[in-house]
Amino acid sequence: MSDLHSPRFDTRRLAAPDGVVLQADFAAGATPDAPAVVLLHGGGQTRHSWGKAARTLAARGYGVVNLDLRGHGDSGWSPDGRYSLGLLARDLQPLLQTLPPRVALVGASMGGAAALVLVDIVPRMEINGAEKIRGFMRAHPDGFATLEDAADAITAYYPHRPRPKDIGGLRKNLRERDDGRLRWHWDPHVIDGPHTVEPPTFSDALVEASRQVRIPTMLVRGLESDIVGEAGVAALRADLPQLEVFDIAGAGHMVAGDRNDAFNEGILAFLGRQLPSG
């Protein structure tokens, strides 16, 4: 079980309550009573951003579900261009009804707004960091002529992250349109619609929701993040006394991409205490 390449995943299509078709990878081979872990990526990402984490969790015996959120990756887009916290939560309900009763939701940024393991997201975010993300997501509306151009844009946004020698994996986050140009694999309405869901801006609703949570909850914070500051963590602690905070040095907002091994270590330790796979 130590070989992270051994777990196999089956891709399935799921219907959201409003008919939008969602796509997810399900770990094969988990026992029927194994606890499930649902991975929810951040805005502008796809399920492929969880690749190593998904394999690690599956290798430990968890029933992993790695979902493309609506408007992202291989999932359908909202026909009216609307995205909201309530809509994202409703998308999860049919999926959760098919899973064992013991489930952990692990979400990054936008996905973390509907999760119980929050990856670098709090209801009260740092405004400057949020604006930086919006600026990146609004840039290049006409797409890119080449894969190298897209890689250049990411390098400019993440100058601290070493550029991979092989950028072929980046193609999973891009779509080639009829004009031959490459555009990000997500609906632009995610950032320009009636509700900005990346990063989430409906903080009052998130604060109210967090005050209702009674189960164990974890915040994974990148210490180099410009989204999660000390004030935001303190406010969340006040609303969730049971909150555990796992800090990762050298990681920014995209924690799993910056320090994947440390991220996996923190997640596995928390789940091992609160939701052991047996």
Residue 2 is predicted with a pLDDT of 43
* Chain mean pLDDT for the chain: 87
- Closest alpha carbon to 107 in 45, 31, 174, 34: 45
Q: What are the CB-based long-range contacts (under 8 Å, 24+) for 162-170?
A: 169/48
> CATH homologous superfamily for 8-127+197-274?
Alpha/Beta hydrolase fold, catalytic domain (3.40.50.1820)
Task: Find the mean pLDDT for residues 222-232.
Answer: 91
pLDDT tens profile 123-146: 888 888 888 888 888 899 999 999
Domain residue spans in the chain? Answer: 8-127+197-274
Task: Find the mean pLDDT for residues 46-68.
Answer: 93
Of the pLDDT bands very low, low, confident and very high (cuts 50, 70, 90), residue 245 is: very high
Task: Find the mean pLDDT for residues 84-102.
Answer: 89
* Lowest-confidence segment of 18-22, 100-104, 108-112 by average pLDDT: 108-112
Residue 194 is predicted with a pLDDT of 56
**CA terminus-to-terminus distance, the chain:** 13
Residue 128 is predicted with a pLDDT of 87
Residue 116 is predicted with a pLDDT of 75
Residue 65 is predicted with a pLDDT of 97
pLDDT tens profile 258-272: 788 899 999 999 999
Residue 3 is predicted with a pLDDT of 47
Helix (H, G, I), strand (E, B), or coil: what is residue 124? coil
Whether the pLDDT of residue 5 is over 60: the answer is: no
pLDDT tens profile 190-207: 887 655 555 555 567 777
Neighbours of 8 (CB within 10 A): 12
171-189 burial, b at 16+ Cβ within 10 Å, e below that, comes to: eebbeeeeeebbbbbbbeb
The Cα–Cα gap between 37 and 35 comes to: 7
pLDDT tens profile 20-56: 999 999 999 888 889 999 999 988 889 998 989 999 9
Whether the pLDDT of residue 160 is over 70: the answer is: yes
